Amino acid sequence: MRLGVVVSGKGSNLRNLVERDFDVVAVATNRPSCGGAAYARERGIPLGELSLKRFSSEEERDEAMREFFKAHGVELVVDAGYDRIHTRPFLEAFRGRIINVHPSLLPQFGGGMDAVEQALVAGVDVTGATVHLVTEDLDGGPILTQERVPVLKGDTVETLRGRIHEAEHRILPAAIRLLEAKLAQSPAVGQ
């Protein structure tokens, strides 16, 4: 499938997908100075720089992202460290074809970008990573796959986040392959 990846951070999941030979045809970002955007530029992947300050609303930004991805023939959108919530114009255009990687075992610690910090504060023994379909329900779409990650004595945000990233790098490709298979059996999904 032709992937459109949305990033706001370092871009480790984007890099992982490219290195595993996934067909990443476009990258969009709300933070043009982030590492993921820099990686897309280095690799010559078409980059949509969609900082909110360029638009009058989040909906207008998402309409621009939708058109950018459609122009590049994106079939599946991967939110890989994207720190914003998609609005209706984008969700409707790619319904059933947007996945998100989240650094916790959803539904635990959903709804924000601080799931690793929340896990440490809560004192849990296990957290993890989840890939799920994106719906209007924030971090509440159907789960495609999860991997448990133990919280070790003495863990810091950085050490735990590093192990969670390793889990994300395993489960995100698996989730994409799973969704590809499902969509191949039911091409009407998202259309």
Q: Which residues are known to be catalytic?
A: 102
Distance (Å, rounded) from C-alpha 131 to C-alpha 135?
A: 13
DSSP characters over 88-136: HHHHHHTTT-EEEEESSSTTTT-SSS-HHHHHHHHT-SEEEEEEEE--S
The strands making up 98-102's β-sheet, listed across from edge to edge, are 47-49, 23-29, 2-7, 76-79, 98-102, 126-133, 143-150
